Amino acid sequence: MTSNQRIFRALFAVALILGIAMGTRNAFSGLFLQPVSADMKWGREVFSFAVALQNLVWGASQPFIGYIADRYGARRVLIAGAVLYALGLGWTAFLSNTFTLAISGGILMGVAIACTTYSVAYSVLGKMVPPERRAWAFGISAAAGSFGQFFMIPVGQFFITQNGWSASLIGLAVITATIAPLGWYFAKLGSEGKLPQPAAATQASAGEALRTAFADRSYTLLTLGYFVCGFQVVFIGAHLTPYLLDKGIAARVGVTALALVGLFNCFGTYLAGVLAGKLPKRYVLSFIYFMRSVVIVIFLALPLSEWTVYAFAAAIGFLWLSTVPPTNAIIAQVYGVRYLGMLGGIVFFSHQIGSFLGAWLGGKLYDVTGNYNTVWMLTIALGVFAAIVHLPIDERALESRTPALA
C-alpha cells in the first residue's frame, strides 16, 4: 500500500468516525431538549445544563485523552470512546431524574466525545500527513463531522417522531458502537503510515512542550479565540430550534435549519482547510469570526420567516466548524505534531468552556428573561472580539524564532 493510498483510507475511516460522533452529538443537543424537557416536566435549564456539562467534561478531559493518544496510540482511546458513547446514550434513554441525565448525557457522553473526535483524530493524521497537506487533511475530516450533522439530525428527528425520544436514543447508541471497529482500523493505518519526526520533537517531554507553548503569546491568543467558537456554535446548535418555536416557526423548519448548517459546513470547512494551506491562517480565522457576527446581525434584523431561517442556516453553516482546520494547523505548524493531541486538547478545553456557557446561559437567561435577546447580543460581541485577537498570532515555527522560545 502506498503512502497516498494509506492516507486516503485513513481519511475515509476518520470521516465515518467523526460523522457518527459529531452527528450524534449535534442531534442530541439540538433535537432532544424540547421533547425530554416536556415529557419529564422540566424547565429548559435542566437539559441545557446537561449539554453544558457534556461540553465542559469533553473539554476538560481532552488534553489528557489527547496525551494518551499521543503517548500510547489512538486505538484504545477510540474503542473506549465508542463503548462510553453507547453506554451514555443507552442510560439516558431510561431517565428517571435530573441526576441521571447529568451523569449519562453529561459526564459519560462528554468523555466519549473527547475520545472520538478532533484532537484524537488529528493526533493520528498530523503524524502521517506531510506538513504541506496537513490543513487540507484536517479540513476534509472536519467537513465529515459536519456531514454527520446533516445526515444524523433528520434521521434523529424522524425516529423521535415515529418512536419517541427514548427509543431514538437506543438507536443512536447502536450507531455509535460502530466507532469501535472503525477506530481500530483508523489507528492501524496511522501506526503503519507514521512519518519520521525531527529528533528534537521526539525527545522533548510533554512538560517541556507545555512550557514552551504557554510561554508563547500566540498560543494564549489562539486559546482565547477558540473559547468564542465554542460559545457561538453550541448556543446556536442547542437553542436555535427552541428560539424558532417561540417565534411561531414550525419545528420542521428548525430541524431543516440544523441539517442545512451541517450541509453547508461541509463546504465551508473544506474551503477553510484549503485556504489555510495557501494564506496566513490567522487571517482566515479572523475573517470567519467576524463574518459570524455579521451573519447573526443580519438574521436578527430581518423579518423572521421560513426562508430567512434557511438563509441564516446556510450562511452560519458555512462558517460553523471552519475554524477547526486552521486552528489545529497553526498548533501543528508552530509547536510540531509530537504532542498535537495534548496541545490541541488544551486549546479545545477553552472551546468547551465557551460551549458550557453558550448552552447553559442560553437556557438560564431564557428562564430568567423569557427570551434569547441577551445571549444573541453577547454572541455577536464575542465574534468581533475573536476576530481581533487572532490578528497578532505569529505562525512561524518556534525553532525559527528567538532562541528563548526555541
Residue 334 confidence (pLDDT): 87
CA 105 from centroid of its chain's CA atoms: 16
Does residue 120 form part of some domain? yes
Write the CB contacts of 56 (distance below 8 Å, at least 6 apart in sequence): 110, 352, 353, 355, 356
CATH, residue 284: 1.20.1250.20
pLDDT at 311: 96
The string of DSSP letters for 309-332 reads HHHHHHHHHHTSSTTHHHHHHHHH
Please tell me the distance from the alpha carbon of residue 336 to that of residue 345, in angstroms, as a whole number. 14
If the chain, 406 residues long, is cut into consecutive pieces of 10 residues, what is the mean pLDDT of each piece?
Answer: 84 90 85 82 80 85 88 90 95 86 92 90 86 83 75 82 89 94 92 69 68 88 94 88 87 84 87 89 96 96 93 94 89 84 87 85 84 92 96 85 52
Q: Which residue, chain included where needed, has cell 453577547?
A: 378
Query: What is residue 107's DSSP assignment?
Result: I
Alpha-carbon gap, residue 299 to 305, rounded angstroms: 10
Nearest CA to 49 among 109, 3, 98? 98
User: Cα(339)–Cα(48) distance, rounded to whole angstroms?
Assistant: 33
Is 109 among the domain residues? yes
Count of C-beta atoms within a 10 Å radius of residue 364: 18
Is there a domain that residue 198 lies in?
no
The residue range of the domain holding 358 is 3-192+204-400
Residue 197 domain-assigned (yes or no): no
pLDDT for res 405: 46
Specify the 3-state DSSP secondary structure of 319.
coil
Roughly what angle, to the nearest 10 degrees, separates helices 179-192 and 3-31? 150
Ramachandran angles phi, psi of 319, nearest 5°:
-105, 0
How much is the pLDDT for 204? 63
43-68 in b/e form (b: 16+ CB < 10 A) is: ebbbbbbbbbbbbbbbbbbbbbbbbb
C-alpha cell at 393: 498570532
DSSP string over 180-194:
HHHHHHHHHHHHHTP
Say if 406 falls within a structural domain. Answer: no
DSSP code, position 398: G
Domain total of the chain: 1
Size of the chain in residues: 406
Q: Choose among 78, 80, 266: nearest CA to 189.
A: 78
For residue 406, give the DSSP letter.
-
Name the packing angle between helices 131-177 and 251-276 (round to 10°): 150
Q: Cα 192 to chain center, whole Å?
A: 27
Cell triple for 143: 467537513
| Residue 405 lies inside a defined structural domain of this protein | no
